[in-house]
Amino acid sequence: MTVNMGPQHPSTHGVLRLVLELDGETVRSCAPTIGYLHTGIEKTAEQKKWQQVIPLVERMDYLSAQSNSLAFCLSVEKLLGLQIPERVTSIRLLIAELQRINSHLVWLGTHGMEVGAVSVMLYCFRERELLLNINEMLAGFRLFPSYMRVGGLREDLPRGFHAAVTAFLDRFGPKLDEYEDLLTKNEIYLKRTRGVGVVSRDDAVALSLVGPIARSAGVDYDVRKYFPYLGYDTYEFTVPIETAGDVYARYKVRVAEMRESAKICRQALQRISPAGAYAVDDPRITPPPKDRVYTEMEALIQHFLIYSQGFTVPRGEAYVPVEGPRGEQGYYVVSDGTNRPWRVKSRAPSLLACQALERLIVGGLIADVIAVIGSIDVVMGDVDR
């Protein structure tokens, strides 16, 4: 029998379409079809000024918006040759780790709901709300804050930021234990996830699977450890590894990653002073503070120049990957020396995870398809761009 699953299916995390051929309950072949969410962001980015690309890239992988903009900013800053202040680097790292917790919470909630544990979804979204509140505090936006800018951050940290993050971290640890109580030894959950959607170590590398999917199959590839950026080599944390390569292993890796991220957040929070530099001191790139724009002629001219013409970026290309919630994430940017990018290419971990679906699903049961799609954590905005 042939089953057409999606694109309008609540468990495909967007608009993924699978054509499944069944033999009884066993899946004999699976053809993923994508492109329903293709919006041509890479083409649009070529028409925008460098700073204007940031809101665009945040909307690609909409569950980890700030990892996207971080990767883009790092690549452009590499081309510009900027030295980013220490404090900004620590804040970015803290935001990136909070984003990882945020994304994993959405994943845990939706995945739990799909395999029948609806209560997990309610609890996860409760904690995620606190993270969205922190985003709102930072930038006024909850999902797509556009707080990262080329050259630093949009503005300084708001008052009460440290207290809000500390309150979240204090609350989050015990709550994570509660989620684990719901799932880790839950007989139904174990039956639905153990030995399901298995990917071997070699297959994971050959299919370019990265992030939690690869680490659950025994590949210890983590950009934070392999090619440290933002000073990750000065933080103490471990990279959780599992070897089973099934859905349950992916669950365990992601939950352990959330704990590690919380640990990194605490270390970063200690390094961040409540006030200080929030962007590079470069008049070409960083707009002057608003109070100076309103009172000084030079500052007004500078403000006007930055917002009307933008800045030029030296000719060349750069690619600085970061470890996003779904694995290696980066932007290959090419500049022709003008104020607009010549090419912006997003390295999308979800696209390759989606490609691997065929390998993971074929041979399994139709009932496990949902569990497998959930476990690879695809964001269709990142797949189709």
| Cα end-to-end span (Å), the chain | 32
- Name the H helices within 115-200: 118-139, 161-183, 187-193
Residue closer to another protein (CB basis): 271 or 343? 343
Residue closer to another protein (CB basis): 112 or 341? 341
Question: Residues interacting with another protein, by CB under 8 A?
Answer: 2, 19, 21, 29, 31, 34-35, 38, 40, 42-43, 47, 75, 78-79, 81, 205-208, 210, 219, 221, 226-227, 314, 316-321, 328, 330, 332, 334, 342-343, 345, 347, 351-352, 354-355, 384-385
Residue closer to another protein (CB basis): 87 or 347? 347
Residue 217's identity, in one-letter code, is: A
29 is written with which tokens? 């072949």
Helix (H) or strand (E) holding 21: strand 17-23
Residue closer to another protein (CB basis): 124 or 353? 353
Q: Tell the smallest beta-carbon distance from residue 240 to another protein (Å).
A: 17
Q: Tell the smallest beta-carbon distance from residue 34 to another protein (Å).
A: 7
Q: Tell the smallest beta-carbon distance from residue 166 to another protein (Å).
A: 35
Q: Tell the smallest beta-carbon distance from residue 2 to another protein (Å).
A: 5
User: What is the DSSP secondary structure assignment for residue 289, as one 8-state letter?
Assistant: P
Q: Show Cβ contacts of residue 168 under 8 Å, excluding neighbours closer than 6 positions.
A: 98, 127, 130, 131, 134
Q: Show Cβ contacts of residue 146 under 8 Å, excluding neighbours closer than 6 positions.
A: 54, 55, 58, 69, 139, 154
Q: Tell the smallest beta-carbon distance from residue 328 to another protein (Å).
A: 6
Query: What Cα–Cα distance (Å) separates residue 282 from each residue in 91, 223, 306, 335, 339?
Result: 19, 29, 11, 20, 16
Residue closer to another protein (CB basis): 128 or 359? 359
Distance CA 167, CA 130 (A): 9
Distance CA 113, CA 303 (A): 48
Q: Give yes or no for a cis peptide into 55 (omega within 30° of 0).
A: no
Q: Tell the smallest beta-carbon distance from residue 318 to another protein (Å).
A: 4
Residue closer to another protein (CB basis): 268 or 348? 348
Q: Tell the smallest beta-carbon distance from residue 266 to another protein (Å).
A: 28
Distance CA 60, CA 53 (A): 11
Residue closer to another protein (CB basis): 127 or 222? 222
